[in-house]
Structure 1
């Protein structure tokens, strides 16, 4: 199948500054939940705006659902739901009436089924009880939900979400993750931009990492995490003795604290039980011992040498 999104050397340069997006070549497989990851200011939103035909690229090409953008916007956009930089709402209208206006502006929407379509979208994002409330009284999280409902008024081949959990409490974030998984199961490709590594790792099948306008890496989440080394963690009230024993067995220590030692994973072929036995034999009181797999955060740090907001 052709990719849902494909860019080649996509570039956006604003007058007098460095490129906001610099020669981006990105491939989003059809049916993927694709995490577009990077710190604030890394070029994610500028990329999305080019993909949606909202701004012209300076150079390079972008294809969405097999059509060039922005030239193919009239054909492509009816198949795309999007929430970019927060929803644009009419504050004096209720949540329901906001969705009615959005649906009315869609030339492909059947007005005879509008009420049912709006009701289903509100229910899907948990806003049925607040449907009659004016949007100006909505919290930030409720506004995000309403924007997402607007993107889901029609069945979509592609859903583009820019920081969809912005302003949501932990329960709301879990609900959005569940919704994204359901959409992917139904066959929708989801392109999810975020600066939260933990969110991306929990819901996405593929990921691309941006930094300072450039693509650092892309690929399946599991492969990127597997490419980073895990860590050996020994929990003990005797960290100095534990570190000494581990060094004697060729283990590189990366961090020590009052109650733990963190080290690089043992070399291939090392029997972990023997290593634990060596610690106990040396009089180290071992309270916890194990190798933790690498996370997406570990992979990001390994690639860039830096971290960013992983907790929100």
Structure 2
């Protein structure tokens, strides 16, 4: 544990785990030897298909379940041993909010705030009003929680996590159930929190979500950590795709294959594929297309995405519905 603390001081890690493992009864290995480092001040995306071990990891970090082996530190303290000292500085929304359906959204937050021994009761209503406004629920504050949509419940759970200033905010699938506008609002809120100095740890199975809002990310698959680092570096580690826009996609595909392009896919007006390996001057590929009579209307290299990186690392697709 002391060794881990020294590493944290060197790296500025808000969360650090070493060989963190959780095996359930019956032998199911949910998390397998996880070494995770979350830099202070980052928006850290914890990425993986459903069932990859993300929520189990978060539950261990928050002291909700004991690890089978390994260690975890949050805000420099060992978990779950330091739960009482750590959790007042952490806001969390895990596996959806726990709400009193017969109470209004406002009264739910008043209950949450009253349960916090550090919360000043004299400013409770002001804190609740500010949290409701921050997640766009002021107009629905008087409605009973059981009448809330799934997206509204997610917003209310996020408001509960924001009642007090937090050094760390842990969000497990925070955009679940939200419409596109709601997702944009949550992304904007996460960026705002990060700019205020809060470290945000964001679990999601939505690659696009992570790519838009996160500065750093880790990729999980089948309980194991595949990779972690700055988002730009993770995507840069995967090769982009060569895209040719043309009214002759079939002919373009044939020429691309002759030029060493692999995994060629043809659609109505384009042909795409993996650039040649070893790399070659793409101007030569473009010249070959023109020489063959292909009418090239667009030619370029499309930047690799996190999904491309995931496929390159695991050899499989990213099942967002799994």
Q: TM-score, normalised by structure 2?
A: 0.92
d(CA) in 1 for partners of 2:184, 2:66 = 35
* Residue of structure 2 in register with 1:207 after alignment: 217
SS at match of 1:24: strand
When residues 71 and 254 of structure 1 are mapped into structure 2, their CA distance, relative to the original with a 3 A threshold, is same
- Secondary structure, aligned partner of 1:4: strand
Match of 1:301 in 2: 311
SS of corresponding position for 1:106: coil
Aligned to 1:270: 281
Of 118-127 and 252-261, more deviation after overlay is shown by 252-261
Asked whether the equivalents of residues 253 and 261 of structure 1 are also in contact (C-alpha less than 8 Å), the reply is no
Deviations 1:201-226 (A, max 9, x none): 00001111111111111111100100
Of 250, 268, 280, 2:290 maps to 280
Of 247, 250, 270, 1:237 maps to: 247
| Separation in 2, partners of 1:85, 1:37 | 15
Listed as ranges, the gaps of 5+ residues in structure 2 are: 1-8
Matched, 1:36 2:75: no
In 2, Cα distance between equivalents of 1:221 and 1:123: 31
The answer to whether the aligner puts 1:145 opposite 2:155 as a matched pair is: yes
Q: Name the structure 2 match of 1:189.
A: 199
2:299 is matched with which residue?
289
Change (3 A) 1:41 1:248: closer
Partner of 1:5: 15
1:135 aligns with 2:145: yes
Separation in 1 of the partners of 2:212 and 2:139?
29
Q: C-alpha separation between the residues in 1 aligned to 2:190 and 2:35?
A: 25
Please name the residue that 1:62 is paired with: 72
Residue 6 (structure 2) aligns with: none
User: In structure 2, the residue corresponding to 1:209 is in which secondary structure?
Assistant: strand
SS of the equivalent of 1:160 reads strand
Change (3 A) 1:43 1:311: closer
How many angstroms apart in 1 are the aligned matches of 2:254 and 2:234? 32
Match of 1:15 in 2: 25
Asked if 1 retains the 8 angstrom alpha-carbon contact of 2:253 and 2:265, the reply is no
Give the whole-Å Cα distance in 2 for the aligned partners of 1:247 and 1:254: 7
State the match for 2:236 in structure 1.
226
Cα RMSD, aligned residues only: 1.7
Q: Which residue of 1 aligns with 2:5?
A: none
CA distance in 1, matches of 2:269, 2:320: 24
Secondary structure at the aligned position of 2:164 is classed as coil
Check the 8 A contact 1:81/1:158 in 2, yes or no. Answer: yes
In the alignment, what sits opposite 2:174?
A: 164
After TM superposition, give the deviation of residue 306 of structure 1 in Å.
1.6
The number of aligned residues is: 311
**Structure 2 equivalent of residue 76 of structure 1:** 86
Alignment gaps of 5+ in structure 1:
none
Moved over 4 A (4+): 266-269, 309-312
Of 150, 164, 186, 1:176 maps to: 186
Q: Secondary structure at the match of 1:42?
A: coil
Q: CA deviation at 1:259?
A: 3.1
**Which one of the candidate residues 79, 85, 88 is aligned to 2:95?**
85
Q: Does 1:120 align with 2:130?
A: yes
